[in-house]
Structure 1
Amino acid sequence: MSKPIDCVHSIEGSGPAIFLIHGIGARRAGWSKLVEALKDKFTCISYDLRGHGDSPLPSDRFGLEDLVDDLEHLRAKLGIERAHLAGHSLGGMIGPAYARRFPDRVLSVGLLSTAAFRTEDDSAKVKAVVAAMRERGIGQVLDTLTARWFTDEFASRRPDVIAWRKKQVMDTPAEIFLNVFDIYAETEMGPWLHEVLAPCLVLTGEFDGGCNPRLNRQIAEALPHSELVILDGLKHAILIEASERVAPPVRQFLLANS
């Protein structure tokens, strides 16, 4: 275990706290539209994961538990006793892992566009993507990734947003991007999700290849207190492409569990 890193964060709004945890090669800015929809009722704390955006680079490789340590370090520094958590993709693994280790600190958990209960075939596919990036370079595989993240219709209508998201990835140091992709590919929450006792919202896009409804139904069934929302017609980048559709179920869930 490496020592916790002081992650750069933004705070907006008032009310019960919610920590917003982004995914691989993303930034806290990815939550901005959701923050707008929540900040009248909630204190929204978004932060850049270690090695991402404005946060410091770690000195060596790290694992899921190190990312949990960073979140606990931030919570303690801000003096927040209990908070909601919502994470997207890799963030949707950090949140429940935190809730499992620090149950008394957590009001609820949002697992957005994340994966568990992968079959051997599912695991092989995601690990093949990481292997291709190691072999050919991240830039060579980026078009494959963005095609999985965004719907074709959105990509053709908003090439500027696709370019912005690609730039975030390329601005993330390659060793950090590959490190977090390894964590995402190798984490299997299935054996321990039943230990997460906080109320959980499980939400994904209908056409999200790697974090699909099949896996998310199993996630929801494994969690003792959960509700499942499938957003039709969407792929992985739900916060960027369709935050106006993500916000209502998230807001309703948070209000019901505050």
Structure 2
Amino acid sequence: MSADRYFDGSGIRTRYRLEGEGPNMVLVHGVSDQLEGWDKVVPYLEKNFRILRFDLRGHGSTDKPEGPYSLDDFAGDLAELTVGLGFERFHLAGFSLGGLIAQRFALDYPERVDHLMLLSTVAGRNEVERARVIERLQAVEKGDFNTHFESSIRRWYTDDFIARNPDLMASAGRSNSLDQASIRAAYRVLCTSDLIEELPHVQSPTLIITGEHDIGSNPRMAANMHKSIAGSSLEILPGQKHSILIEVPGTVAKLIQDFIAGQR
């Protein structure tokens, strides 16, 4: 496994890893996670790509500045990190909150994104979905952080996966090692950001993937993204919920590699 490194940017110090050889690829994790969220996917991709993954601000071992945070903050961090490490142009994949960050980055820096992969992410929430996610945000901001995330396990993982991985499930919702103020700030960005109106301006070839039974990043939203981004590709994974990086990493990696190969 590649060793952790640190990049000192103008505003924050970021933990990152570089792995593999080939064309540049950047992987962006979701809220309350860290770069290890891609651990099961990277072994499939590092054979063909030079991969950069990192902890978002407020997560893992990256600095945790006081909030509030914005989508522009996260995209700006990504821009500074990649320029500093010589990743001038790259394939960009984002999961959940990482997918929102990837959308923002691709819109702001179109000349720097070769292929864009949006995994289990959101755009175009309807009124009911907006109300539901704001309710979850209020619960996170007012109540016990662990209780909220523990209650989310069945939204994230399939019943079969939960049954086969009791030890993982016992720790999946725990956030004792996280800075709760920072994660709340990041969670607010996830819950309140929506770029559906801007997505027709995305210029990069785009792949959209979500699970058939993902409630928060559902197939309806994925289809709307697909319609909004000209020439994009859409993949709905049968039977899957939100945590596709953990439950079906090989499938995700193959879809990404086949998409990039087919678009060259």
Q: TM above 0.5, one fold?
A: yes
Give the gaps of 5 or more residues in structure 2: 1-9
Q: CA deviation at 1:251?
A: 1.3
Cα distance in 2 for partners of 1:149, 1:41 equals 29
Q: Which residue of 2 aligns with 1:98?
A: 105
| Counterpart-to-counterpart distance in 2, 1:21 and 1:162 | 23
Q: Displacement, 1:24? A: 0.6
Q: 1:235 aligns with which of 220, 238, 241?
A: 241
Q: One-letter code of the match for 2:135? A: A
- Which residue of structure 1 lines up, in the alignment, with residue 5 of structure 2? none
Q: CA deviation at 1:193?
A: 0.5
Pick one of 220, 223, 232 that aligns with 2:226. 220
1:248 and 2:254 are equivalent in the alignment? yes
Which residue is equivalent to 1:146?
Answer: 153
Report what 1:196 is aligned to: 202
RMSD of aligned residue pairs (Cα, Å):
1.5
Partner in structure 2 of residue 68 of structure 1:
75
2:188 aligned with 1:182, yes or no? Answer: yes
Give identity over the alignment, percent: 35
Query: Displacement of 1:137 after TM fit?
Result: 1.2
Between Structure 1 and Structure 2, which shows a larger proportion of helix residues?
1
Q: CA deviation at 1:250?
A: 1.1
Return the letter of the residue paired with 1:229.
E
CA apart distance, 1:134: 2.1
TM-score by length of 1: 0.95
Measured after TM superposition, the shift of residue 255 of structure 1 is: 2.4
Deviations 1:148-169 (A, max 9, x none): 10111111210222234323x3
The answer as to whether partners of 1:127 and 1:185 remain within 8 angstroms in 2 is: yes
Structure 1: which 5+ residue stretches go unaligned? Answer: none
1:165–1:254 distance in 2 versus 1, CA, 3 Å? farther
CA distance in 2, matches of 1:182, 1:54: 20
**Of 203-212 and 175-184, the range deviating more from structure 2:** 175-184
Which of 84, 88, 93 is the equivalent residue of 1:86?
93
